[in-house]
Chains A and B, each alone.
Chain A
Amino acid sequence: MNERIPMPLIPGDYAGLPPGAARCPGPSVQDIVARDAVPAPQILRESHYEFLGETDIDYRRYTSREHYEQEMTHLWAKTWQWACREEHIPQVGDYYVYEIGHHSVLVVRTGEGIKAYYNSCLHRGTKLRPEEGMGSAQELRCPFHGWTWTLEGALKSVPCAWDFPHVKPETYRLPELRVGLWGGFVFINLDENAPSLESYLEVLPEHFRDWDLGQRYTELHMGKILPCNWKTGLEAFIESYHVLETHPQLLHGTGDANVQYDVYGDHVTRFYAVGGVNSPHLDEPLSEQALVDSMLIGDRSVVNDALVVGEGETARTVMARFLRKVLGDKYGSDLSGVSDAEMIDTIEYHLFPNMVLFPGVSLPMVYRFRPLKDDPERCLFEILFLRPLPEQGLPPDPPEMVLVGEEESYSVVKALDPVLARVYDQDTANLRAQQQGFRASKKPGQTLGNYQEVRIRHFERAVDRYLARGFSKEENR
């Protein structure tokens, strides 16, 4: 499709354009999508970029304990975060412990719906459930002295109750946090005065109107501890600029530089990378047939047949048609109405602070990045695969998280496509070096591309806004 496109190697030239206006030469995402056989929904036919500045981003945001503490107080304790999927707690009595920094939240499916409690006993503080993850109970009983609450949070029994005449059951209900549901995710917020989840989500519900993630189930859940700040980790996954250097094997069949970057409101950004086209960086563009052959990433388990590009067809059309059929069969769901773009492209949304989600069918991931306990330079990176719910029968039990060791390859995860394991290994291999480089640097901050790295700038701006709001409240005290 594209010819080899000449590109300058030396930066420093606005070429007469306002900052942020330059784009990679070659067809844009919108040019490519406009020619699709099964057209993309309106939400993918729009772009929403805004120039947000070009000054450097201070490295201390990623290394300093002070910044970390401020984030704990003014960001993590104020924002909506997804704690688990609804399928993690399918029946009354099922619970999920979600931890963020020193906070620990017990999300419980009760007879009165889903509730979230501070995971701390009202007797002497012991965590009611010691570890993160799924579990089940008929009542919430503390392991230390056995104080017990109903699932709905009422004090039920206290051993040697005669010794506690001062403990009135009315005032010893388990304190609750706010809970919100969207797309099959259970969100919590530690701030009782925060705006509603609905308003927090901004454009997301509208964009996902036809991508109901509530109709998916968790097929796979992986975690890995990364030796970097949670923002360092997240920022490596919200730009596609690194593909050229970090994942050269993906250049075939990815319009890597022609990725569209969009920013919305305070909390939402996205990128949109088309598949089935040549990278403008390739010396020798592939034929449409060769593109199809190179695109078999994401779910190789379903590849069972030769894929032939017919007269007048594009690789995109052929690949989308093929995946619609095999993935539809594999997951027992009807994908006939799904556009080419939704079948094969990589569409990635970021919801502030730490949720990254892909509405596509063939790469159906959700990422989450969290600081680990009290270390500004370590984080937990989780990947979930959400597959379409079968039209008949029950989905399998939600899986436990598989932890990939810090020094281990993602290839230890049997259920993961080895092609993707290699990509995640490449991504995570950069991060220790980057985090250490933040400290080694003479230059005080990182420099961002005006277009391809705008989501990072948008994200850091949102961090600043939360911290600034926190400071102004402190001053008013």
Chain B
Amino acid sequence: MSHSFHTVFPVADLPPGASKAVQIDGHNILVGNSAGEFFAVQNRCTHQDSPLEGGRIRNGLIACPLHGVMFDVKTGCGRGQMGRVPLRTYALQVSDGQIQVSVDAPVAA
């Protein structure tokens, strides 16, 4: 069965440390660059619902801009007592210099 990947933006738009939100089929998704590796996670903090866009990305973790809870961008796992609920993560691929995200493809481990 084939999954639909949506082209979101060119790789060049997302330097290390940057993140941008995008809507796909009603999903609010944050696509970001963690030290050269791209990731896609839900753009809503599981703590108290703040968008994660623009949160500082360091060491493979994104810090929520509102209260600072940190989430692993690969696994979605949060840190500490306010980060108990993980973020949903999305499958992402790069093709022809374009970042593509899918809302239904399984996330590679």
Contacts and interface: CB of A to CB of B under 8 A. Distances in A.
B58 interface: yes
A397 interface: yes
A138 B50 CA distance: 14
Interface hub of B56, B63, B68 (most chain A Cβ within 10 A):
B68
Interface residues on A, range: 10 to 19
B68 A399 contact: no
Contacts of B55: 136
Contacts of A137: 63, 65, 68
Interface string A396-408: 0111100000000
Interface hub of B35, B67, B80 (most chain A Cβ within 10 A):
B67
A136 B68 contact: yes
A142 B47 CA distance: 13
Interface residues on B, range: 10 to 19
Nearest to B56: A136
Interface class of chain A by DSSP: loop
Nearest to A94: B56
A340 B63 CA distance: 44
B66 interface: yes
Contact of B58 (A129, A131, A136): A136
Interface in B81-99: 81-82
A137 B70 CA distance: 11
Nearest to B58: A397
B59 A399 contact: yes
Nearest to A132: B80
B35 A135 contact: no
A93 B59 CA distance: 16
B59 A135 contact: no
Contacts of A444: none
B28 interface: no
B97 to A, nearest CB: 25
Which are the 5 A-B pairs with shortest beta-carbon distances? A136-B56, A143-B67, A136-B63, A131-B80, A135-B68
Given A130-B82, A131-B79, A138-B65, 5 more contacts: A135-B63, A136-B58, A137-B68, A141-B67, A400-B61
Interface of A: 91, 93-95, 129-131, 134-138, 141-143, 397-400
25 contacts: A94-B56, A95-B68, A129-B67, A129-B68, A130-B80, A130-B82, A131-B79, A131-B81, A134-B58, A135-B68, A136-B55, A136-B56, A136-B58, A136-B63, A137-B63, A137-B65, A137-B68, A138-B65, A141-B67, A143-B47, A143-B67, A143-B82, A397-B58, A399-B59, A400-B59
